[in-house]
Structure 1
């Protein structure tokens, strides 16, 4: 089972990349997000890999980040969601954006991906809502390019807000969903004092 490839970038296509590892070229299907992050041809490249073995084929799916690979695994665990659809969703939504959408039960965001209809989007957010509980969500607009301090501070506020709602008696999945919606609305820089009331408002409207 191949879990990671480290070698030289050989070539990149519309939905695939070939990495040369000691003279052996491995073709991996990938999202547009991963493909756009690849270095120039002939330079060092690394991919986290999900190996799918079937009776008639062994297929590799490559990801620039572990988080993207993990979300791909979750997506393809949903009935009716194959690898092609999983990659389409990850080409449209970054891993943290997808986590937010699932926690907030935002099927419209998931349905923006090519080939994903409303029924499939609804199934994804419904079946995965409990599985993303415990993941740290980031409000839209928080980018790692801003440095480690900003995401860390945002995550701390979100975690504290979720904890506050759980202490008030709400279920973890309800707390995560409400805080994810509140964080998406309030955006970067929202503190606990703003997140908790906004999340409670979301919960009261259910």
Structure 2
């Protein structure tokens, strides 16, 4: 089990990052809300990870806090929720926002996420309510710091912000037409924005 990685941030291709740990490159998938908080490329980063082994793949999912990883692990225990959908849910809202939605029976906020229909949202509220009762108190590093969206980091050089943003939305489960429309709207509002800004704008206005 790989529970933590500390190394140099080599590249970002949302929702995936590449971390160099003593010469070994680890590809790690992250929720966009966690990826926004990463330092600049070339700097040292520490990720709390969850390792998934399948017959056809070995996948690493990364988070900035133990609480975020705990939420991810609770999500994938829910009926009908796999790692991909859990990643999408945590990309569409912060961990705190998800917990708030569950504890306040806010189904309407959950159904806005791709892959989450009303039945799934209602089931999540029921299944997750008790699991999240003590969320945020289990470890010293539980509460994620507020996200500062004013200092975004570049992705891999050579690809356009539009293409990076579109690729990220598709990877998170959004349909091509929906992703194209959201990115186009983001570009109209922020023509010179970096990909992270476009992704954030698109997710916020889906």
* TM-score normalised according to structure 2 size: 0.63
Higher relative contact order (CA 8 A, sep 6+): 2
* Shift in alpha-carbon separation, 1:112–1:126, aligned structure 2, 3 A: same
Deviations 1:65-113 (A, max 9, x none): 2211111111111111111111111112211221111112211122222
| Structure 1 residue 16 corresponds to structure 2 residue 16 | yes
Cα distance change, pair 136–3 in 1 and its aligned pair in 2 (3 A)? closer
Q: Give me the whole-angstrom Cα distance separating, in 2, the residues matched to 1:136 and 1:42.
A: 31
| 2:94 corresponding residue in structure 1 | 94
Change in CA separation of 1:4 and 1:136 when aligned onto 2, cut-off 3 Å: closer
CA distance in 2, matches of 1:35, 1:60: 14
Q: Does 1:105 align with 2:105?
A: yes
Q: Which structure carries more helix by proportion?
A: 1
Whole-angstrom CA distance in 2 between matches of 1:113 and 1:87: 11
Contact 2:67 2:136 in 1 (8 A): no
User: Superposition pairs for residues 71-82 of structure 1, below 5 Å?
Assistant: 71-82=71-82
- Give the paired residue count: 140
Which position in structure 2 is the counterpart of 1:64? 64
SS in structure 2 of the partner of residue 46 of structure 1: strand
> Which blocks of at least 5 consecutive residues in structure 1 are unaligned?
138-142, 146-206
8 Å contact 1:91–1:113 — kept in the other structure?
no
Cα distance in structure 1, aligned partners of 2:125 and 2:34: 23
1:1-41, Cα deviation, whole Å (9 max, x unpaired) = 10000000010102101100000000011111122111111
In structure 2, the CA distance between the partners of 1:41 and 1:136, relative to structure 1 (3 Å rule), is: closer
The structure with more radius of gyration:
1
- What aligned pairs does 1:106-145 form with structure 2 within 5 A after superposition? 106-135=106-135
1:136 offset after TM fit, Å?
5.8
SS at match of 1:129: helix
